[in-house]
Amino acid sequence: MYLPESERVIYERNPLIQVACQLRFPPILKISRQEPVDFQDEIRFQYPLFESTQPQVPSEISQAIQKFGLPLLSDISYSFKSEDQIWHLCISKDSITLSTSAYERYEHFQKRFREAVELFERIYTPSFYTRVGLQYQDLIIRSKLGLENKQWSDLITEHIASELYNAKLSPSIQSIIKDLVLKTEQGQVHFKHGLVFVKQPDRSDDELAYLLDADFYTERKIERGENVWNILGKFNKSARNLFRWSITDTLHHAMRPQTLETTEI
């Protein structure tokens, strides 16, 4: 997939609603069997809120397993959140994930995740990684950008949503949902986008918005170390290019872009 290079910017009116990064690895059973005491002790000042979650097993299955004296398998996960609950770090027997609803720039996000991963590797020593993923979710809400009078064809490019450019069809469109998996230089991107309804606190009715959800990932054996961060850096750059390729100049300027240096991606 070829994407034209785009200038690196930070939007004053940031449309990002969530950014998440996940590393998967061969299962480490110790994580399911023991609470992560040492891990939590190292991060609890940054992520003081803790909870564990365990999927509910239907009672009939649970009874059948216990009847035969078999152990009840657990896929427990451990969740650590910042005090304001903006940052969320989660570990399970086969993954470590960091997500945030207040993303500013990649360097800050990568630094937080790298610190957590290096601590995790020191305590649990994963053999290698089987999946590396970086996901960006952008939600375009016209009322927040002063674009209530603009058509979606003024904001979203024709090459990703040609239906919006059809004069006979577009006035009738209530929903568009597109789900694509595309090859990239480093792996794939699962690109979901379309029109969705969102609730606004200052409005009595739901507002139509446009969601752009891009999950960049590779599923192959990746050794621990710098290669992981090189892949994520390239995903970050591709995500920037994909987003800019998907929106018009009108939307780009309405979000008030501020140019950044490109020495780091």
Which residue in 121, 117, 35 sits closest to 79, CA to CA?
35
Q: Would strands 177-183 and 188-198 be described as parallel, antiparallel, or unpaired?
A: antiparallel
Distance CA 190, CA 213 (A): 8
Which residue in 214, 244, 227 sits closest to 21, CA to CA?
214
Which pTM was predicted? 0.89
Residue 97 and residue 68 in contact, taking contact as beta carbons nearer than 8 Å: no
Degrees to nearest 5, angle at CA 114 with 108 and 115: 95
Residue 76 and residue 53 in contact, taking contact as beta carbons nearer than 8 Å: yes
Task: pLDDT tens for the chain, 265 residues: list them.
Answer: 778 899 999 999 999 999 999 999 999 999 988 999 999 999 999 999 999 987 654 555 555 545 555 554 557 999 999 999 999 999 999 999 999 999 999 999 999 999 999 999 999 999 999 999 999 999 999 999 999 999 999 999 999 999 999 988 888 888 889 999 999 988 999 999 999 999 877 777 889 999 999 999 999 999 998 899 999 999 999 999 999 999 999 999 999 999 886 544 3
Distance CA 161, CA 178 (A): 9
Residue type, 2: Y
Report residue 65: phi and psi, to 5°. Answer: -65, -45
Q: What is the pLDDT of residue 11?
A: 96
Distance CA 169, CA 165 (A): 8
Distance CA 23, CA 14 (A): 26
In 10 A of CB 182, how many CB atoms?
A: 13
